[in-house]
Amino acid sequence: MGVRVGIPRALLYYHYYPGWEAFFRALGAEVVLSDETTKAILDRGVRDAVDEACLPVKLYLGHLANLRDKEVDYIFVPRIVSVERKRYLCPKFLGLPEIARFCVPGLPELLDIEINVYERYHKSKQSLEKLASLFGYSKQAGKLALQEAKVAQKAYEARLRQGYTPQDVFCGREKKENGRIKVAVLGHAYNLNDPYTSMGLLEKLREMGAEVITTEMMLPEEIKRGNDFLEKEIFWTFGKELLGAAFHLLDEGSIQGIVLVVSFGCGPDSLICELVERIYRREKTVPLLMLTLDEHTGQAGVITRLEAFMDMLRWREAI
């Protein structure tokens, strides 16, 4: 039996899992996912985390503990500093391996390679290729595995731009017919797509008759155009994408409403969402709903606010 590599079903799982899975499978590893989020997994993460941690980090720690119980040989916890030139991710991604080791006892060995393309991609590529030797493969095999990962990741991102959500792709669901009301739902993919912590809000909006648009469904050039009005671009990758998507959609005038989803205690989002909210409220053309999630958020309250928001959008369309 091959080496068992665990991947937590949290944080950047929703961005990069297809590429990660293809990479490890090409190296003969068995990829083991943590279970889908439950109250027990979240509660375990909350118990292990420091009080100041945001909801996504608490959830990530719960998934690490879940993988520990599955007796995997390794857990993939990369230190992701930057995924594009001259941009950073949130600081929590920089210290994720240390957070994991400090907060969750008894973990197996972590594959904590550094991915940092702030200046150049070469060193990160070498780090990924070196993982091949850990599984008994040559450097050339590592290069081939990396190529397979790129192909899988590109195909995944193409599906997202066709209007599928990550959960649609992972579960093999067909894309549902577009609703009558276009609603942009903007936030980090790990906040929007975890069925438990998001209360399934994307599916609920679809059931209420909305055509849901997320950042991942938009083209890079559209997001870039949305950021063009800034004198200086945002240096957080995900913040830049959220801001660009929000301003492009406002300028295009193609949406009837926007829902901003943020986790309580998120530093970058406290700035980004404030900018978006100010501009939308100043323009007064597109209604905006802000949802803040934490471990205490109740489903009934979220559904009530979504229903009221959709009723208001239908009323606006009718007059």
* DSSP state string for 75-113: EE--EEEESSTT-B--HHHHTHHHHHHHHSTT--EEE--
Predicted local confidence at residue 104, as pLDDT: 92
Domain match, 129 and 179 both: no
Look at 34-43, 62-71, 174-183, 252-261 and tell me which has the smallest mean pLDDT. 174-183
Count of structural domains, the chain: 2
Domain match, 86 and 101 both: yes
pLDDT at 319 over 80: no
User: Which residue, of 96, 127, 161, is where some domain finishes?
Assistant: 161
Domain match, 12 and 155 both: yes
pLDDT at 185 over 80: yes
Residues in contact with 108: Cβ distance below 8 Å, sequence separation at least 6, in sequence order? 6, 68, 72, 73, 74, 75
Domain match, 56 and 148 both: yes
pLDDT at 1 over 70: no
Predicted local confidence at residue 233, as pLDDT: 78
| Average pLDDT over the chain, rounded to an integer | 89
pLDDT at 5 over 90: yes
Contact 61, 45 (CB under 8 A): yes
Q: What is the DSSP string of 117-173?
A: -SS-SHHHHHHHHHHHHHTT--HHHHHHHHHHHHHHHHHHHHHHHTT--HHHHHHTP
Predicted local confidence at residue 142, as pLDDT: 85
* Residues facing 288 on adjacent strands: 258
Predicted local confidence at residue 129, as pLDDT: 75
Domain match, 150 and 178 both: no
Q: Regarding predicted confidence, which is higher, 257 or 295?
A: 257
User: Which residue, of 145, 161, 177, is where some domain finishes?
Assistant: 161
The 10s digit of each residue's pLDDT in 51-95 is 788 899 999 999 999 999 898 999 999 988 888 888 888 888 888
Predicted local confidence at residue 261, as pLDDT: 93
Domain match, 174 and 276 both: yes
pLDDT band for position 269 (cuts 50, 70, 90): confident
Domain match, 156 and 207 both: no
Domain match, 310 and 295 both: yes
Closest-CA residue to 178 (of 146, 209, 147): 209
Question: pTM of the predicted model, to two decimals?
Answer: 0.91
Predicted local confidence at residue 266, as pLDDT: 82
**CA-based torsion, 171, 258, 204, 39: positive or negative:** positive
Predicted local confidence at residue 212, as pLDDT: 93
Task: Give the CATH number for residue 122.
Answer: 3.40.50
* Residues facing 213 on adjacent strands: 184
**CA-based torsion, 13, 16, 19, 24: positive or negative:** negative
**CA-based torsion, 76, 79, 83, 88: positive or negative:** positive
pLDDT at 293 over 70: yes
Contact 132, 27 (CB under 8 A): yes
Cα 60 to chain centroid, rounded: 12
Domain match, 152 and 179 both: no
Domain match, 225 and 278 both: yes
Domain match, 99 and 187 both: no
Predicted local confidence at residue 115, as pLDDT: 85
The 10s digit of each residue's pLDDT in 156-173 is 999 999 999 999 999 888
Work out whether strand 74-76 and strand 109-111 pair parallel, antiparallel, or are unpaired. Answer: parallel
User: Which residue, of 129, 145, 161, is where some domain finishes?
Assistant: 161
Q: Regarding predicted confidence, which is higher, 309 or 83?
A: 309
Domain match, 115 and 191 both: no
Q: Regarding predicted confidence, which is higher, 243 or 177?
A: 243
* Residues facing 110 on adjacent strands: 75
The 10s digit of each residue's pLDDT in 121-139 is 667 777 777 788 888 888 8
Question: Containing domain of residue 225, as a range?
Answer: 166-318
